Amino acid sequence: MGKVAELYQSADWKSEKHVPVIECPDSVKAGETFQLKVSVGKEIAHPNTTEHHIRWIQVFFKPEGEKFAVQVGNFEFTAHGESVEGANSGAVYTNHSVTAEMSTKKSGVLYATSYCNIHGFWESSKEIKVS
């Protein structure tokens, strides 16, 4: 029997349009709120059509020395040009980018995962140091 982890793909986001890109400070002060942005297709644009799109991004944080990660957020993108008139003829498209704020008292690792309706699950991570 397989594991979900085996389904996740990763790569350098500068050369692969499906990898979630985490943008935030490398170092933060303990307990202070900071902004975090996660997007897909930063260097190479990912399509955003009815047929090919990013469905969601999830963000987790695993504090140093702790066993489990904490979910920071789950963000769904549900409008991709669908319409009663047909695919890609709708008026609304949600962009696969999210900005959130968080704080932490411990250093750790941010994990971002995303799902492309054609190419599956993708992941990336970024270490955060607390001073």
Which residue type sits at 119?
A: H
Catalytic residue among 14, 29, 119, 123: 119
Whether 46 is a known active-site residue: answer: yes
Residues in the chain, overall count: 131
Whether 23 is a known active-site residue: answer: no
108-124-45-58 Cα dihedral, nearest 10 degrees:
-70
Whether 24 is a known active-site residue: answer: no
Catalytic residue among 18, 53, 80, 96: 18
Helix (H/G/I), strand (E/B), else coil: 32: coil
For residue 37 the two structure tokens come to 């942005």
Catalytic residue among 14, 29, 37, 52: 52
Phi, psi of 4, deg, nearest 5:
-55, -35
Whether 116 is a known active-site residue: answer: yes
- Local structure of residue 7 (DSSP, 8 states): G
Whether 119 is a known active-site residue: answer: yes
Whether 76 is a known active-site residue: answer: no
Whether 16 is a known active-site residue: answer: yes
Question: What are 2's strand-pairing partners?
Answer: none
Catalytic residue among 53, 96, 116, 123: 116
Supply the residues annotated as catalytic.
Answer: 16-18, 46, 52, 116, 119
